[in-house]
Structure 1
């Protein structure tokens, strides 16, 4: 099934397709409250039709080379995902994102999966800049950005209205030369 190993712990990065809508909904249901603390996904994926529509939107983005979604599986179970919410190859820019259900937290899955996603965007698609937009209160996601070697560039004060409350958003990024230099240094 076109999976890429994320390590020796049974974790894999795999395609996530509209025909998997029921499984995707079950995953969102398992993590609905946890995921929804900072991510609007549970508000969009409320039933199988919503799950299918979300996955179809990402299938359309992938077909038009403007984004993509990949499942994070642990021992075959869908436990999270990484996305390129935006992929603009002509401009050399992308925005990455992620989520996990609670059972998968603390294993480094998002960091490993996002590392593969960024590496693909930079090396295969020629992206020069990858952004990571995050609620200022989302400490685990900010920690991922740091582990990936991203730099905080801005705080957009009270820019994000979510569930009736205004939140500050931070913008983190990594540039292709930084990414490749860090990858080469880590390899060797």
Structure 2
């Protein structure tokens, strides 16, 4: 039952937002009593904490799988973006914004873990891109990895990028292209342009 509550809560948080979903909503949706939920999770904060941890685990597992396929590094970044967007339901309810505002401690812990989980994958992506001649040789790999992570997390700031002006899917595409154009070689540019053109068809 604990797992079922966690899965349902995670799904509802992503679709409706961390603040918007109450324990009553969750109980009603599952057809169980609130008491049953409290047997497994002492309060909503604990449930939010476990839910973000569960989500992070699922996403990092999926990203590890994509990285393990050792695809072309540019294609790999697009595959990861597609996978994350699918898991985060396109972030219609801006869960990250609500998490940051109403559960800052949980948000802080998630940010730290997020970087730890992403670091190896991003650094490996850069290293392989340089080896294959599609990323520039003179890159400061650590700098590029960190600036990429900062960008990925910062574009979710709704004060900077309000959703009515910057739809999430377009924003992610624009950011990825911006990141890649700064590090690719002419050989890499051909691959990137081919991906962008095929995405527009």
Same fold (TM over 0.5): no
Q: Which has the larger radius of gyration?
A: 2
User: Is the helix fraction higher in 1 or 2?
Assistant: 2
TM-score, reference length from structure 1: 0.31
User: Is the strand fraction higher in 1 or 2?
Assistant: 1
The higher-RCO structure (CA 8 Å, 6+ apart) is: 2
TM-score, reference length from structure 2: 0.29
